[in-house]
Amino acid sequence: MIRGLLFDLDGVLVNTNPLHYQAWKELAEELGIPFTPKDHEAFLGVSRAQCLELLLQKGNQSFSPQEKARLCGRKNDRYRELIGGLTPAALLPGVPEFLKAARAEGYRIGLGSVSKNAGFILEKLKITAFFDAVIDGTGILSGKPDPEVFLKGAQALGLLPEQCVVFEDSAAGIEAAHRGGMKAVGIGTPQRLPAAELTIPGFAGLTPAVLLSKLV
């Protein structure tokens, strides 16, 4: 029986993916590396350092570890500028209602994000109090598709992996859920996330009870 809901953050609760894209795009331009929204697909769910590796691979460029740390820092400074103005209005449609319904229905709620900015964003969106556990990029060693973030999330909720469902917008995150022994609900289209057990365009009009009845 499902007792816990583990949510990814970027692209699931809030539409920050375009802001990540913009910050990477600006860095890519400085480095003279072509970068399109299609290239950014592979960055979803992937840690900041790993995203930089993907970008440098694409541009066939190499830097020292110190220079890479500086480049990651520049990207993040720009991203922090872009997310500085987030308010609860940035929550994706239906998200606050879904989280409220999840509490009312007695589910334990966890965040499983590889972002190191997750705590800051939850505060900006004023949804920190919904979460019984927050696992983010500051508390893990391996990003998705490694299952670490979700396994730690289940553990922090006091549940077994099979008692949890993951909500994810990235292929890497769906794979992480599966490798952790959890089912995954994809936020997006079945074409983009074919491995998810169920795909929804978003949370509007849904409650956990209704949604999970379609999962079995």
Show which residues are catalytic.
8, 10
Tokens linked to 89: 């209005």
- Which of 200, 183, 169, 191 shows the shortest CA–CA distance to 46? 169
Interaction between residue 45 and ligand BG6 (CB under 6 A): yes
What phi, psi does 12 have (nearest 5°)? -115, -50
Interaction between residue 113 and ligand BG6 (CB under 6 A): yes
Interaction between residue 199 and ligand BG6 (CB under 6 A): no
Q: How many residues does the chain have?
A: 216
Interface residues for ligand BG6 in 128-157 (CB under 6 A)? Answer: 137
Q: How far is the CB of 89 from ligand BG6 (least distance, A)?
A: 20
Choose the one of ligand BG6, Mg ion, none that binds residue 48, judging by a C-beta under 5 to 8 angstroms depending on kind: ligand BG6
Interaction between residue 76 and ligand BG6 (CB under 6 A): yes
Cα atoms in the 13 Å half-sphere on the side-chain side of 208: 26
Interaction between residue 51 and ligand BG6 (CB under 6 A): yes
Interaction between residue 15 and ligand BG6 (CB under 6 A): no
Interaction between residue 25 and ligand BG6 (CB under 6 A): no
Q: Quick check: helix, strand or coil at residue 6? A: strand
Q: Quick check: helix, strand or coil at residue 37? A: helix
Q: How far is the CB of 79 from ligand BG6 (least distance, A)?
A: 6
Is residue 9 within 8 Å of 99, Cβ to Cβ? no
Q: How far is the CB of 39 from ligand BG6 (least distance, A)?
A: 12
Is residue 185 within 8 Å of 167, Cβ to Cβ? yes
Residues that bind Mg ion (CB under 5 A): 8, 10-11, 169-170
Choose the one of Mg ion, ligand BG6, none that binds residue 148, judging by a C-beta under 5 to 8 angstroms depending on kind: none
**Distance (Å, whole) CA 92 – CA 14:** 5
Write the single-letter amino acid at 20: H
Binding site for ligand BG6 (CB under 6 A): 9-10, 20, 43-48, 51, 76, 113-117, 137, 170
